[in-house]
Amino acid sequence: MWTLITGAGSGIGRALALELAPRGHNLILAGRTVRKLEDVADTVRVEAPDCELMTLEVDLADPESTRNLAHQVGDAVDHLSAFVYCAGVGEPAADFASLGLIDFQEALAVNVSAPLLLTQSLLPLLKGGDPASRIVMIGAGMDKHAQPGTGSYGISKMALRRLVRQMSVEFDTMPDGPVVSLFQPGLVDTPGIRSHIKKAGDLNLPHAEWLAGRLEAGECLTAEQAASALVFTLNQVPDSDFHGAVFNGADLVDSLSFAGS
């Protein structure tokens, strides 16, 4: 049972790899920084020695590199049980006038075009599963909550939401297609969000202080909690409730802790 995770070297993707490894998932860890992927792989080898895994370098802002990742995955495995797209970017801008086209295009490339291209390229590995292979794209609440300086990130995540919707209706027309959902993590304490808060704070953007205050107060999920909620969606939610759904990480963590109490 092979699972591909992009953005596996950090934050939610890293935590997801560590949660899935002892649960019978063999892992393909894909990301931009090989050192971070190898660090995750080393930890998996210690914590889940039976897990088969490989690390693959990719720049998801680059379509050639993204296609190459799909080829490498196809050379290595016949089938993917799950594909979780955790990679994400979105540089803040000081104001609307300085929203840079390069940053905007990078966010669209990594957060929208690469999930599309990778899913298309991996379809032969994602079709024909029994149970159906599961795809999860990681969205963001910023899609519907526009804040000054967050255009690149928010607009691209809104497009990703629509892409998931599109995939779900397209997969309905494939008799042996995969199922897909969007996972909205809510605020999660990761290197990515801390880096974003620092950059947004340096630009005096109002949401930076609010986010920093919530992290400080612990009003956020840990990466491990977000990963547990993802594992629940991957392993336990029935297909009919999974396909086309939008999951909220904080709500899932609440209901899982209620169920466990």
| Per-residue tokens: 59 | 């720049």
What's the min distance (Å) between Cβ of 90 and ligand NAP? 7
Q: Report the residue number, 48 or 137, with the smaller CB distance to ligand NAP.
A: 137
Residues whose CB falls within 8 Å of the CB of residue 148, separated by 6 or more in sequence, listed in order: 95, 96, 205, 206, 207
b/e code 199-214 from CB counts within 10 Å (16+ = b) = ebeebebebbeebbeb
Residue 32 or residue 134: which is nearer to ligand NAP going by CB?
32
Q: Which is nearer to ligand NAP, 79 or 195 (CB)?
A: 195
Bridge partner list, 31: 57
| Distance (Å, whole) CA 134 – CA 33 | 25
Give the helix ranges, DSSP H, for the chain: 11-20, 34-47, 63-76, 101-108, 114-126, 151-172, 191-202, 206-216, 223-235, 239-242, 249-260
C-beta closer to ligand NAP: residue 115 or 129:
115
Distance of closest approach, residue 128 Cβ to ligand NAP, in angstroms: 28
CB of 88 to ligand NAP, least distance (A): 2
Q: What letters, b where the CB count within 10 A reaches 16 and e where it falls short, cover 58-95?
A: bbbbeeeebbbbbebbeeebeebbbbbbbbbbbbbbee
Q: Min. distance of Cβ 252 from ligand NAP in angstroms? A: 14
**Cβ distance to ligand NAP smaller for residue 132 or 138:** 138
Give 7's DSSP letter: S
Nearer to ligand NAP, 61 or 126 (CB): 61
Residue 134 beta carbon to ligand NAP: minimum distance, rounded to whole angstroms: 17
Nearer to ligand NAP, 53 or 193 (CB): 193
CA pair distance 256, 253, nearest whole angstrom: 5
Binding site residues, ligand NAP, CB under 6 A: 7, 9-13, 31-33, 36, 58-61, 86-89, 110, 138, 140, 185, 187-188, 190-193
In contact, 135 and 87? CB cutoff 8 Å: no
What CA–CA distance (Å, rounded) separates 223 from 225?
5
Cβ at position 21, least distance to ligand NAP in Å? 17
| Minimum distance, C-beta of residue 82 to ligand NAP, in the bound complex (Å) | 16
